[in-house]
Structure 1
């Protein structure tokens, strides 16, 4: 009996000690779990996200082992946050869904609110703003329910960013006001700084730029005081945008440079924290001197001004414009090439920079649009005055100088148009416009249009259109024409006393879709092997010597490649130095029913103004630039027309009310109300008056605005005088104006 009692005591004691050991093991594991979580927080703070992820995964394994469901849910949320930061969005969504499921099962509404907020951030990054707002709303409701006022400021800040994405600025303003109140109450410097910067964006969007500057500067001051580099960087970029909108390009450039410098510093710090073997995706903000505001300030030019002085002024202005624009675009292109080379070398993605990259692209597009507009305005003066001087019987020794100036003006206009097209292609703003057309006739027309240039070079053009190949297709014939003109023009430029062949033939067919290959072959100077790989990059023409000898902007092939990619095709070349070059491009085209394309008969426009009675014709010119006023007035006088001139939109409205005009030539950018606003006002009381937009803006992007404002058509500055005369003649002779808007 004593023996059995002894055995029972031994077993009971062992059980107690085992339970104590189990409790001690659990406590130790819980300590290790918290250590891993703390270490992951430190890793994240210094940008070492991969080590942070390792520590969180170890913490998750411990939580699962000790069945700590609450910690398990929290860790899944933290893992999702890190996965989102390093660009693994799909995995982040999986981790969040797991976290939310665990948190719902355990009624952990506090951490469920955090998960909802992160889910909203992921949707926001994808520009799914409506979905993001739904999650933010849920996060905010749970935070209020659980009394988490301190956390609500992060949610309302994120709500504001989503509203800004939707351009619902009043809602964003309200959310930011709530954020600022809470952040000030709890001394949340990072969120307060960010909220003030976002408030500046909203105020700028609501056209209150003075308030916007004040808010962003306050946010910047807080960020600097607490060394919050990301907010400092965002403030620099926002201040640059606001100053650009105000027209203060010098300040805008200064803040952009500070933004670029700090961006590099932040990225360098994060590079140092990468563990061996892990690389990152770094997308640079464009680094370019953005000297955007060039303005010719010639207050008054008289018809009998000294010829040499005018020519000198125009030459200096033109050289300055060309130099600045070329330098700006060349630097921008070099940065893009360096970025592309860096992207090829990097394999893993460390920092998700999608929003900043899109912002950089948008800012670059706005910058180029602004610069080119500002260049077109003085260019109108250069070309206009040059044409006037050529018409005023200059001395024989002056004619070559004027013709050189005219050539330079035309070259710069081509350069600007090429830049705008590349900008549109890179910003994905080029849309397809398919229509039924005759491909063979299209090729023949292009060859015909360039035949004179070929004759000047002593070069023969040949066409080889495959026998039996259908001629009618449904496609974007304008883009195909532009591709052919660029490639054939290049071939002519580099081929003297030779031959050029243009070929088109089928390489594949699926139902009505034909895969066609086009060849443009020449026996000209050819291209070296080392240069061939770079021929489709901007500013690439083989060599500096070739550039100088043959001319050109070096942008044509870059445009061609972009257009072919839009048409879902590809382009390549083969060449041998001294023996010639062949460009091949392949595009899919859908066969259409046969169409007959009438031959286009070129009709030379004769000066018909003399056939009209112009004595009662009244034209109003609305233009704020003094030299442009003088040029337009002189062109009209030369055509036998008289005009009144006003220099702002308000005066134009009053003038139209008091005088019956036949035509109004309306500039767009003017002090006070713009030409668009002035035209809208005029249309409220006069719907029949012919109003032309006489403008230097980018037509493709603004076309719908002109139509909605009530313009009849557009005359783009600098314009071709024969086109200008033709449009005025059509109106004055009673012909219906065929609008460019439809």
Structure 2
């Protein structure tokens, strides 16, 4: 018990050395940083905790990389790699991938570096590392260049909540934003970010950042023609180098780094010497060793001759491979650029379509609320149906594009499958009634109550398949089948089948029914409508689960779609509590909101929807006005559009959060493919409502955020 407590104390001490080392590194106190890591390694070796030792090697590798001593950095990277090959340690592997990405970045292999960072991000949820990954990706985006993505990452990092390096990460983000604004021809904004970053760096003694930001201020002032300030910052740089980067300091750091590296090499050599001594059991063994050594040297000589003869062939082969690699890289870059162009086009088109669609659906809702005549009501319902159909079409195209662009990945969460199936069926009951069709659930009760998989994407698959069955079945039956095929420890294989007795599919069409915009024939498309994308989405989503969709069908007798998915499961039991969405009636009267929206029609619609519930509002047409109005007035909530000219909704939110942490901010936006919900929340938004939206969702979100903020639940 005492030994266990001692090891626990040692582990805590090692963690403290890690934190101290990072802080010293950030302040350019390299000797102290190296000393802290050396203490950490000795403590980790005492505990005999392999994971802690891996962490030490990774930290040494990062520090030597920072010192631009790549040989030593690679040595520690290799030592960590050897230990990681013998055990599973996700965090250690994530840091390892992160270091690998830094090496690739130095070699200007930006796409490969970004790929390694994505893999590292999937391996860990440790906040400090994920923030450094986000920071590294932002600097990669500067080089590609992908300025919009870089801007999102840097903005979110300025307001990070890291426990260890909050200010350092923010300072690096300010450096990135300064470079970004210089690259995009916005020197005035670059000055603003550089001065904010310099203030933060000086406060924390981040000398490298102080030097870098002064250099950037020299460049920005030169671009603006302000040579007086440019000279002032140039003098600052000279002063910093004289005081911080003196010869004595550099020599001391180099000597300390080399000493620690040498100590490690000596320790390893001593270990090898000890192993050799243990093997010397007798004199005869020495004689045998001498003979073997002679033979070994002979073989080495022969190999050297062979290698020399083959060297010319190898050089020629390498030249050929280099040429081919260059050609392949050019082809890959062209393909990536084409995919990005397609993605950006669809993202822009979707946003441009959603904005007028918000006006169509919003005005339709308002008109239906104003007691129209029966003839008007009929036309308005037709208009509402058309708007819903168009929105569904846009969503389908975006869903496919997200999958094609590798922007979707399955996320494991714990869920109850029976509840998911019940909710899917419940959501489609109205469609079933319209076609006078019954939905039947056949559920295997042997399926574990609590499963681990992506329930949201599974719901999308089932909604598409059941909806497809209902669409082509009138006055019939659609059956949803879920069975447990087998269970091995914590893994269960489930079988799903959705069958109907509708029109069926001709054998000639079975092979291409899963292609985009394909419904079997033009006649079927005209009679039944739809985009023809539902089954394509199902096929693509199942690919994320390493599964495939299969089909049995007979023309005139119906169709059966089936697939299998492996899921995680646990032995514990979740209480089978019926799931219900609780809709609360809020009292909105007297609330005063700020609408931030650049589109005039959308301003009118949102304002009228608020007035319907006796709420008042002010309107800001851009982000700059929104920040000023939020500072000067008191509002119960802010409805923030994201895409606006000038500063975006995210930037406006970041600025508002600097002086008002409490006011609820709801992102009210026509979300595009590249938008990241995480970046909205990182900027300071409390919630997100996508346009066009259902009125009941709109009011529910406002009520939840305002009244939960004012009266927190206990």
TM-score (norm 1): 0.52
Partner of residue 185, structure 2: 208
Residues 597, 620 of structure 2: 8 Å contact kept = yes
1:428 aligns with 2:406: yes
1:398 aligns with 2:360: no
Residues 435, 476 of structure 1: 8 Å contact kept = yes
Partner of residue 618, structure 2: 644
Number of aligned residue pairs: give it.
416
Q: Deviations over 1:550-591 (max 9, x none)?
A: 222211111111111101111110101100000011111122
Residues 129, 163 of structure 1: 8 Å contact kept = no
Q: Give distance in 2, aligned partners of 1:371 and 1:651.
A: 27
1:714 aligns with 2:714: no
In the TM superposition, what are the counterparts of 1:349-428 in structure 2 within 5 Å? 353-428=331-406
What SS class does the counterpart of residue 425 from structure 1 fall into? Answer: helix
> Can you give the 5+ residue segments of structure 1 that lack an aligned partner in the other structure?
1-126, 137-161, 173-201, 211-348
In the TM superposition, what are the counterparts of 1:227-626 in structure 2 within 5 Å? 353-466=331-444, 468-593=446-571, 594-601=573-580, 603=582, 606=585, 608-609=586-587, 614-615=589-590, 617-626=591-600
How far 1:738 sits from its partner (Å)? 10
Q: Give distance in 2, aligned partners of 1:678 and 1:668.
A: 9
TM-score (norm 2): 0.54
Q: Deviations over 1:362-401 (max 9, x none)?
A: 2211111111111111111111112222222333322222
1:659 aligns with 2:633: yes
1:695 aligns with 2:674: no
Q: Give distance in 2, aligned partners of 1:663 and 1:164.
A: 31
Q: Give distance in 1, aligned partners of 2:682 and 2:704.
A: 22
What SS class does the counterpart of residue 698 from structure 2 fall into? Answer: helix
Q: Give distance in 2, aligned partners of 1:209 and 1:135.
A: 25
Q: Give distance in 1, aligned partners of 2:533 and 2:340.
A: 21
- Are the structure 2 counterparts of residues 618 and 528 from structure 1 closer, same or farther at C-alpha, using a change threshold of 3 Å? same
What SS class does the counterpart of residue 660 from structure 1 fall into? Answer: coil
Q: Give distance in 1, aligned partners of 2:514 and 2:685.
A: 39
Partner of residue 194, structure 1: none
Q: Give distance in 2, aligned partners of 1:435 and 1:543.
A: 39
Q: Give distance in 2, aligned partners of 1:492 and 1:583.
A: 13
What SS class does the counterpart of residue 417 from structure 1 fall into? Answer: helix
> Can you give the 5+ residue segments of structure 2 that lack an aligned partner in the other structure?
1-99, 110-135, 147-178, 188-325
Residues 438, 596 of structure 1: 8 Å contact kept = no
What SS class does the counterpart of residue 463 from structure 1 fall into? Answer: strand
Larger radius of gyration, structure 1 or 2?
A: 1
Q: Give distance in 2, aligned partners of 1:521 and 1:171.
A: 49
Q: Give distance in 1, aligned partners of 2:424 and 2:138.
A: 47
Q: Give distance in 2, aligned partners of 1:628 and 1:642.
A: 16
How far 1:597 sits from its partner (Å)? 3.5
- Are the structure 2 counterparts of residues 442 and 694 from structure 1 closer, same or farther at C-alpha, using a change threshold of 3 Å? closer
Q: Give distance in 2, aligned partners of 1:458 and 1:651.
A: 54
In the TM superposition, what are the counterparts of 1:34-113 in structure 2 within 5 Å? none
What SS class does the counterpart of residue 549 from structure 2 fall into? Answer: strand
Q: Give distance in 2, aligned partners of 1:720 and 1:171.
A: 38
Q: Give distance in 1, aligned partners of 2:139 and 2:653.
A: 31
Q: Give distance in 2, aligned partners of 1:670 and 1:655.
A: 16
Partner of residue 96, structure 1: none
Partner of residue 219, structure 1: none
Q: Give distance in 1, aligned partners of 2:337 and 2:145.
A: 22
